[in-house]
Every structure is written in C-alpha cells, then in structure tokens.
Structure 1
C-alpha cells in the first residue's frame, strides 16, 4: 500500500497554515506545519517530508536563505515558496535559489494543490543558478495584479532553462521588457542581448541578417557578414514582429529553432 506524501509547511500566519492543511488533507496528503524556519529545518535535516511549502518572511530566518540550505542537504526535495512580496524579483530569487514554484499571496487553494501535484510528479532536475543582485531598482517589470503574478511565475520557471520562448501580446504591452527580464535574470545574463525588428528588414535580406553570409555568396557580398544569431551567441536573441516575416523565412527559422543549428547564406557547414 502506497503511503500518502507528507507536506511540510512553514508560515508564521496560523490562518495560512490552517487553510493549507485543510486543502491538502482533502487532496489526500499528510501535512505537518510550523510557524518558524528552525523547526522546518530540523524536520528536513531528519529526512522528513516529501515536499516543503515555506513562506519567504518568517520571524527567525528568511525563507529565501533557507531554500539553498535545504537543497544542499536534500537536493531532490521539492520546495514551494510563497510570499506577500509579490514582485518579479521575489519570484526570480525563489527560482534561482532552488524553489520548484513561487506562489504569491493571496493564492487560490486549487492552485496550491495543483502545484503540489506537479512538484511531486516532476522529474529530478539540476539545482538552479545563484542570484547575483538584491536590488530592485533595475527591475524591468512591475505590477501586483493577478495577471502580472502569473507572468512572474512563468518567467521564474523559464529563467532556469534554455528553451525558446514565444512572447505574445498587443503592441505596446511590454513584450521586449519580458524578453529583457528573461535575459537579465536568466542563465545567459552574462552574454549579449540582441534585439531585431523583423518588420524593418527587407524580405530579400532577412536570411542574411539573421544567419549572416559568406563573401561572394551573392552580388554585393564583398565580405563575410556576421548574422544576428552569431552575434547573440551565449546570450539572448529577441526577434520582434516575427509575424511580418515572409512564410519561407519563417519556415527556415522554425527549422533552425528545432534543430539548434544554422548555415550562413553561401555557407556549407552549419
């Protein structure tokens, strides 16, 4: 018979502990709660629990400082961080220090149960990278609405990956700000950020602009040109207005993204 997973919860708000316990009990989990970080640390060090839910602000220790300590002794233990400090920086810090997910307060109990289920079912992953900045003055995104909270959560997850990201939205809603946030707080922050407006490039020059060209590859190609993909190597390439690209260029771009390699115009070797 399989025993239910045990969830360890640390939050100095008794009301939060109560509602989380009730929701997770109904979902079939066993729950242990505490109002301080010290007790949570003792439980974790003793090998207890299958997943941790911890508040960021607690009386005896900041939850963001506790997360890497937990991951050091139990790297496979999933951690969900929650906080009323609903900013992008909080979400990013939580992810960078090893949290599986970040939940802004107030939260929907259904979201909590769903996150717990995903965390327990997720495959083991490598530890995340360390955060470098504690300042909020350079944050590219601000906002505390539920829509912004969801954006923060998604960004925090994506920043630890090398996935290609599609950013959609109406003109003027801040798509480039999202791209810059992914770069500035992500794994590739030490590399270049290269932005290009695809709508501003003549269609006959798009492939040359993106992938570069070799000397003599076409009339007027008097020297080798380094394309934007090569310029952004090790960093982030932001392609704005890709919907304005001609279909044949979009097809080649898709192939490049799928295969992870490209050939310059007139080149022979990827």
Structure 2
C-alpha cells in the first residue's frame, strides 16, 4: 500500500501506535497535535487521507472541518473520538467523513479503513443537519456499533430491520434514523402490529373506504398514507398476520397501496423501518413469516444489545432517567457510585425499559436526595432489582422453602413476607409486558381490573411509569 496520511492526534501514545501500524503497511504519515499545525501542514502539502481526533488542545476538530474542506475538497476524512456518543457519530457523518472510530478502536479495522479511503478518494453525499434531543444514551462498544449503523442509513432510504429484546430501545433507534435523516421534515408514524386485532391490521396500515366492512361508517386514511414523505415504523413485525404480510410485501415492492374496499391504487413515498424481538428465521421455517418479506425488510439489520451486555452504560442511563423523572414532577435525586455498582450487577431482563422503571421508582421512594446502595436494596430488593421469577410451581416451592429456612421468620409472618417478596415483581412484570396498560395487565394475570388497581395502590406501583419506550 502507499499514500500520504495526515494524523491529527494530541495523545502521543495513541498517535505512535497508529503511525507505526500505518507505516508498517507502507503509508507515509505526518503527525500533528493541534488545529493550527494541521492547517499549516495542509497548506504546504497534499495528503491522501486525514485522520483527526475531535477534542484537540486548541479547538474542536469537527467544528473546524469547513476550512479543511475548502483546502482539500476531495480528501477522505476519518474521525477518531473518545467523545463516543451518538451526537459525535452524527457530527462526524455530517462532515462527510469516510469513517468514524470511537476510542478504543480495533487497530486492524482502522488500517483497513485508511486503505479503503486512500483508494477511493471519495466522500459521502450531501450533508445532513444534526437534530436536537438525540434519544439514545450510552458509550459502550456495543452502542458504538449501533451508532455507526445509524449514520450509514441517514442519507438513503434503505429499509432497516431493528432486532433486539423487548425494552432495548428499538423505537428510539427508529426515531433517531428519522430525526437525523433527510426525511426529518416529514411525518414519523409508528404502528405496533402486536397491538392491533388481526382483522383490523390491513385497515390500520392501508386505510379503508366507507362501507368496506361493518362499522366502516367513513373513509379512513391508513398509516402508509399518513407517513407519506416520511418514515413508517412497523413495530413487532413478527406478530403480523400472514395475509397482512402478503399485502405489506406488495406495497413495499410497488410503492403503491389500496385501501380496504377500494379499487384505486395510491402511490406512497415512505421510508420503512421495522422492528421485532422475535427470531424470524424459525418463524420462516414453520411458515409463520414470509421469507420474501424478511429479505425485503432485512436490507440493513441493526442489532440492539441487551442491557446486560452494556453494563458500563447503566450509570449514564440512570442519571438520564433521573433527569427525566425530575422534569416529570418527581423529586430531584442524585445517585452515588455504590448504588450504580449495585444496579450494574442486575440481570435487567426487561433491559432499558426495566431500568427506567426502577429509576423512576427509586426517585419516588427514596427518603434522601442521594440514592445510595441501601436505598436500592430497600426499594428494589435485597439481592436484585427484580427477584428471579420462578418458571413453575416446583421452583416457586423451592424458592419459598429456601427463603423461609434461610431467614427463620417469626411465626405468623411467612404468608405476608412471601407476598411481599413475590407480588411486586409479578405485577411489575405484567405492567412491563403490557406497556403499563392496566386492562391488559389484569387480563394477563387473570384478575379483575379493580383488584389490580387496589394492588398497585397498596404496593405503591406507578403504572404510568411502565409506558413503553421501545
């Protein structure tokens, strides 16, 4: 390989490693540690690729890229940054950067990107502006991969399929793709396929004409038409009935829809982002999901990591949710490191949604301004934020017998202490599964809605804090 590289990096140790790796591959490398030195080198020589850090001693490496573009409009740019947030990834993308690498990065991946950039001499397309209120939080390596995938789809209309467990933030990713992309001036319309009765889902998606079926007393515009010019987010796509899958596939292939009961085809211009917490491949094998629809949706897959695989993000997420809770009228709280360490040990089966609910409850129940480890233990449970949910009667019996034997409770207290240990996670799990919908939670539990309300009141559980965020 050959080519001349400008490395703008103020960390001498990182610069030495990068320089050595690039020179081993045959590149000539000039290195500087400031914006001023960068501009002098660009004025005096020609470079095939520039690598730049963001935070430099004399300014922001991204904010000053306009002068670089003026001097070297065709030079590929690679951004390196320890400020590894979605905002930084999008800012890098906005410069037309060839690639963005959050620190720490894989050195082989960086060298490969430099080689590709040196061979291409091409930049990405027109700039997109950075939106406000970016919804995703986290600086873990797992989230960096998500951010990089998001930046790759902002300037095109490729269909995106977001995969991940319930509560990982799939709708937030869809919103970020819309808000930061070139369709941000258009509508963002979300539809949850699992929440719509199977006999109404086609009407929900495509609309219907007056008299199309019993109860259709007027014409209705479907989600496709509502999203025209913008983004249509199809959540829980794995729960869509087969007949609706067939019509959806036809709409995706043709860009045209027909209202239920209608004869006229209507052209629609929408960007499709779909999401599911299901593994679609076994569903395809069993005939429950169309294989051709899967390939139509799975153009750009984005895999969201479960919270247990990004525990280093829990502190940032907890502080983020405490701020939200305060803005929504709950007491202002801070959380100390010991409490964070306890939260980081939890399995978080409900992922970010479960953490959010736990933080809201801590904000409500804490006695002091600072949430400490003792508060976490008292409010969320002695050993974990949510005691393990038994899978069957035998495991429940074993758990109770072990708990009773281990704690030697006073006579007459076993029943009430067992209820205290198991009722709260039971009701919280039901609310988490139904997005805070009390009627659906009551049906799931097989109890009367009034009974559920009384239990929630007795246990001080706020159903509204379980509203879905993904």
TM bin, normalised by shorter chain, reads 0.7 to 0.9
User: Are residues 1:126 and 2:125 paired?
Assistant: yes
* Deviation, structure 1 residue 205: 2.3
For 1:201, the equivalent position in structure 2 comes to 196
For 1:237, the equivalent position in structure 2 comes to 232
User: Are residues 1:104 and 2:102 paired?
Assistant: yes
CA distance in 2, matches of 1:77, 1:224: 54
CA distance in 2, matches of 1:198, 1:259: 21
Q: TM-score, normalised by structure 2?
A: 0.52
Two-structure CA RMSD over aligned residues (Å): 2.4
CA distance in 2, matches of 1:166, 1:50: 35
Give structure 2 stretches of 5+ with no counterpart: 267-470
> How is 1:17-32 mapped onto 2 (pairs within 5 angstroms)?
17-32=15-30
More moved, 94-103 vs 209-218: 209-218
* Deviation, structure 1 residue 109: 0.3
Q: How many residue pairs align between the two structures?
A: 264
For 1:76, the equivalent position in structure 2 comes to 74
CA distance in 2, matches of 1:160, 1:72: 22
User: Are residues 1:268 and 2:264 paired?
Assistant: yes
Q: Do 1:164 and 1:257's aligned partners in 2 also have CA atoms closer than 8 Å? A: no
- 1:229-268 deviations in Å (ceiling 9; x for gaps): 1212232211110011123322332343344343333242
Q: 1:175 aligns with which of 167, 170, 176?
A: 170
Q: Secondary structure at the match of 2:63?
A: helix
In terms of fraction of residues, the more helix-rich structure is 2
CA distance in 1, matches of 2:243, 2:44: 59
CA distance in 1, matches of 2:249, 2:24: 45
Give structure 1 stretches of 5+ with no counterpart: none
Q: 1:252 aligns with which of 222, 244, 247?
A: 247
For 1:187, the equivalent position in structure 2 comes to 182
Q: Do 1:214 and 1:267's aligned partners in 2 also have CA atoms closer than 8 Å? A: no
The 4+ residue runs of structure 1 with deviation greater than 6 A are none
- 1:107-159 deviations in Å (ceiling 9; x for gaps): 110121232234345565422223354xxxx3321112110111112112222
For 2:206, the equivalent position in structure 1 comes to 211
The 1:119/1:248 distance shift into structure 2, 3 A limit, reads: farther
